[in-house]
Chains A and B, each alone.
Chain A
Amino acid sequence: MELVIIAAAIMLGLGALGAAIGMGLLGGKLIEGTARQPELGPMLQGKMFLLAGLIDAVPIIGVGIAMYLIFVVAPSVGA
């Protein structure tokens, strides 16, 4: 049971780490790009949201699986 919870913790932590780096780069570049060429702002923002959704997907799937592990798999393994 402990191992299942550690697995869930690693899943959440590493997923968040990767997504945070990705999101940071993405947001930073968006601001950089908009500062250079403000007229491209709305177009870049639309693309940014698309990529943010793509980056978001993997850790969110990780969150879902981790929640399943913690609340469904771990109790049944422990008992």
Chain B
Amino acid sequence: MSGENPASTTEYIQHHLQNLVYGKLPGGFERQTENGTEVLAADTWTMAHGATEAAAMGFWAIHVDSMAWSIGLGLIFCWMFRRAAVRATTGVPSGFLNFVELVIEFIDSTVKDSFHGKNKMVAPLALTIFVWIFLMNLMDLLPVDLIPKVLMLAGVEYQKIVPSTDPNITMGMALGVFVLMLYYNIKIKGVGFIKELTMHPFNHWAFIPINLFMELVGLLAKPFSLGLRLFGNMYAGEMIFILIAMMFAAGAGTGLVTGGLNAQLFGEGTNAIFWLVIFVLVCGVCWMNLRGKISTGRTVLLTLGLLTIGGGVFALGGGLMQWGWAIFHILVITLQAFIFMVLTIVYLSMAHEEDH
């Protein structure tokens, strides 16, 4: 990677971290197009081409990709669990039904352990939070370049497929939890909530400003840390996937034959197709081995040969690193979904406890 041009790697990362934004460009904005600079006469609603345009949109912008993926995954969750709920019988469950029961029992026992109030809404809320966040995080395990590249061929410039690497999504969810916290605090405790905020650490009227300051900071820190924790973890994970992919691409460029061959055949920047061909060939060789058509020794030789043509050991190493980080990341994505859920339950439980 040392010989790499820093501008192109930076561009690669920034391209990956840019959302697909739809919003209002203010009038008078100088837009860079293929035909040169174009000055907008009036406010225009449009897709942003690049980070500067997205920044110029300011408040009136929506991250189309985050919204589409998160809402889509939410719908998948609803559809899956509804299908299981409709099919549920008193008999022995099988397969998919069993899995859904497992998830629901797990959530149920967690809620019973940490929620001590009386509220019908907490368990379904916990289930939704857990499964939804898990599904959103799961998008991180798809190869980083796969969907953005495919959509790029289809004409979509930017695509961030992991909604939880978008702070708007995680902070939005944290804000939802915060509203529920306030609602139940006021509903259950009433005036007691104000008393809790003003009289808590030091029970004397003279300390009210100090108490209020400390309690408000504590109260506001909860949703803030809740949203940022999920965002930070997923963002860092995504970043590492991107960096590995970058090393992988740089290594592939130094392959024995490929560097020249690839450039000759396809020109710069179209590695994806070439890689797909090699990938399919390697899969085909492995499949033939499984069917007993060719011996194992020959399979190893053929695979190594293909990889040497395709980019040598670097590529294999990059793939293995990607894979290893993905396996570690399975733990992280589940844990973060679980933590978000448990903390939501704990915060709501605190809102239900009368004498604190």
Contacts and interface: CB of A to CB of B under 8 A. Distances in A.
Interface of A: 49-50, 52-54, 56-57, 60-61, 63-64, 67-68, 71-72, 75-76, 78-79
Interface stretch (B140-148, B234-242, B308-316): B234-242
A72 B239 CA distance: 11
Q: Is the interface of B mostly helix, strand, loop or mixed?
A: helix
7 contacts: A50-B339, A54-B229, A60-B233, A60-B236, A61-B229, A64-B236, A78-B6
Contact of A64 (B14, B239, B332, B335): B239
A8 B130 CA distance: 33
Interface of B: 6-7, 9-10, 13-14, 228-229, 232-233, 235-237, 239-240, 243, 332, 335-336, 338-339, 342
B10 A57 contact: no
A64 B232 contact: yes
A72 B13 contact: yes
Q: Is the interface of A mostly helix, strand, loop or mixed?
A: helix
A75 B9 contact: yes
Contacts of B228: 61
A66 B83 CA distance: 44
Contact of A53 (B9, B10, B240, B335): B335
Contacts of A64: 232, 235-236, 239
Contact of B236 (A54, A61, A75): A61
B233 A61 contact: yes
